[in-house]
Structure 1
Amino acid sequence: MPIDAAKALAAEPTVTELAWSHKDVLLYHLGLGAGTPATDPAELRYTLESRLHVLPSFVTVAGGGMAVVDGISAPGVDVDLAAVLHGGQTIEVHRPLPPSGTALQRSRVVAVHDKGKAAVLVLRGETSDAEGPLWTCDTELFVRGEGGFGGERGGSPRLEPPGREPDWTLERPVREDQALLYRLSGDWNPLHADPQFARLAGFDRPILHGLCTYGMTLKALTDTVLDGDVRRVRSYRTRFAGVVFPGETLRVRAWRLDGNRLQALVTAAEREDAPVLADTVVEHA
């Protein structure tokens, strides 16, 4: 059986050494569209090493790793990458991220859900450096055709938008070359660069990385709602609900909730607000 849930859940964590420098952070920020206007002091915090702070979503690319690859290579898991979709992403940061550093990441499968025609794997990465815990990252992988093994179905929580007008509506353009730049942070999937490969996957042109949309949304909310202070972000989760094409515009609708939380809904403005990110929540200080 391609997925042995018991074996996957019982396996020892995989330990990986991560290392990054200020150049990796700068490249990641530029891949999200930072630096416009180039001399804006608010943007220089993302693009100039002497003022650099680190957007917490950087943890999804720190060290150049790809959690999707880690998940499908876990003990008890033997599936085709082409059948895997990135279903959701959650990060929790335990303290501000340093612009450069080394750390150890311990990754393991913490849940395997049987959705009938598909399986859902939840891969957790816990990362620490010499000073203690840095971040925890949960990656949800949807594997088509691998369900039906008799496992727990798991929940399917959906977070409806509040029944009122958003407190903020933000629009962020996606450059035509943005996927080409973002992929330099470690996700080399040709789906985001090669038109022929994209057509084989069912798209008429390459699509933007979901984690790029994820990072762009966090930056927009941090800059607008949290006074640009990345240190205030405590956790950030989303469900990937649709694709974005380079050249489109992200429309971010956000609501302030009780308990220092923000809820957001992200759509593609040019395609009649087609859903992109849903069930999105930022918890902050």
Structure 2
Amino acid sequence: MSGPGAGHEFPSKEVSWLKRDALLFANSIGATSKELHFLYELHPNFSVFPTYSIILPFKLTDQEVTDFYARSKGSPIPGVPNFDARRVVDGQRKITVFKQLPTSSAGRKFELRSKVVGVYDKGKASVVEMEQSIVDAANGEVYSTVTGSAFYVGQGGWGGPKGPATPNYPPPSGKKPDVVNEIVTTTETAQLYRLNGDYNPLHATPEPGQKMGFGGVIIHGLYSWNATAHVVLEAFGGSDPANFREFQARFASPVRPGDKLITELWRTGDAVDGFDEVRFVTKNQKGQVVLSNGRALIKAPKAGSKL
């Protein structure tokens, strides 16, 4: 669907990472010592966790802490209002992994290429849908693509298109989950995750969350999203990054420090290009859904394969 801003491409930006960044990311999303290939750089199968590229638009090439608000201003999108990044929340994200990233970008040049899919006016909010790809600058090879939507709270009503309905992937009705997993977050979960490069103050200090009506600090939606991707790969793909093709979820409600993340997972029996479809829903300890529309494409590990 075309409309104001649709198809607009931003200037490409260089991204880079060290082995240390790969280790930190895996650590921050719950990889355990059973998965040393994500946590130990001298492991013969040392790998970057497959969703790592989702952090690169925040991190770019930096090793030092960055100013989240200044960076979020970004470039204006032609034909739409200039939205305030201090009142933005994630809508949903979907990653498709075509090729595993190397454990470090050293000696190579990778770029973030971003374009607008659409900008939609929902009345009380505006939604900006983007597609971001990590590309080897030397040959144009795409390693992964993320589509995501950002909700600019209280910034609608400018007369833009309402936008298309997004497809729903509900869990199978009346079927018990194949796997149930529980993660207990702590008051420091977000403090560790933000060191990957996502330095939004909303996840570190109470004031922004109080102003936005959350009552204080909330954990990054992308922490829950990545931690659940880890759960899915461990449960159905033998923790092997080669078995990971696609993962998506919608951010349904905020997670507070200390909340439990209880994920119910189902194999649907359907397959796409040899990858099995998994559906999932993640709730907190009160039964409130925090990640909905959960769907992944994961390959079962080959018999006898051990990382």
Same fold (TM over 0.5): yes
Is there any run of 5+ residues in structure 2 with no aligned partner, and where?
61-67, 300-307
Specify the code of the residue in structure 1 equivalent to 2:25.
Y
Alpha-carbon spacing, 1:75–1:44, altered in 2? closer, same or farther (3 Å): same
Residue of structure 2 aligned with 1:19, choices 10, 16, 19: 16
Alignment partner of 2:290 out of 265, 276, 279: 276
For residue 95 of structure 2, the aligned residue among 88, 91, 97 is 91
Query: Distance in 2 between the 1:247 and 1:118 partners?
Result: 29
Q: In the alignment, which of 116, 122, 138 is matched to residue 147 of structure 2?
A: 138
Compute the TM-score of the two structures, normalised by the length of structure 1. Answer: 0.88
Aligned residue number for residue 73 of structure 1? 75
Question: Higher mean Cα deviation, 143-152 or 191-200?
Answer: 143-152
> TM-score under structure 2 normalisation?
0.82
> What is the RMSD computed on CA atoms of the aligned residues?
2.3
Q: Distance in 2 between matches of 1:214 and 1:71?
A: 24
> Which of 107-116 and 275-284 deviates more?
107-116
Percent identical among aligned pairs is 29
Q: Is the aligned partner of 1:160 residue 2:173?
A: no
Task: Report the counterpart of residue 39 of structure 2 in structure 1.
Answer: 47
Residue type matched to 1:268 in 2?
N
Task: Note the residue ranges of structure 1 that are not aligned, 5 or more in a row.
Answer: none
Equivalent of residue 219 in structure 1, options 201, 208, 230: 230
Q: Which has the higher helix share?
A: 1
Query: For residues 1-285 of structure 1, what are the structure 2 equivalents within 5 Å?
Result: 6=4, 8-9=5-6, 11-35=8-32, 40=33, 42-51=34-43, 52-62=46-56, 64-65=59-60, 73-76=75-78, 77=80, 78-101=82-105, 102-129=109-136, 130=138, 132-144=141-153, 145-163=155-173, 164-257=175-268, 258-259=270-271, 260-269=276-285, 272-285=286-299
Corresponding residue SS for 2:16 = strand
Distance 2:72 2:168 in 1: 27
2 CA distance for matches of 1:232 and 1:273? 30
Instruction: Return the offset for 1:120.
Output: 1.6
- 1:106 touches 1:125 (CA, 8 Å); kept in 2? yes
Task: Report which stretch shifted further, 255-264 or 129-138.
Answer: 129-138
Deviations 1:265-285, CA, capped at 9 Å, x for gaps: 00112xx21111000111123
Query: Which amino acid in 1 is paired with 2:123?
Result: G
Runs of 4+ in structure 1 over 6 Å off: none
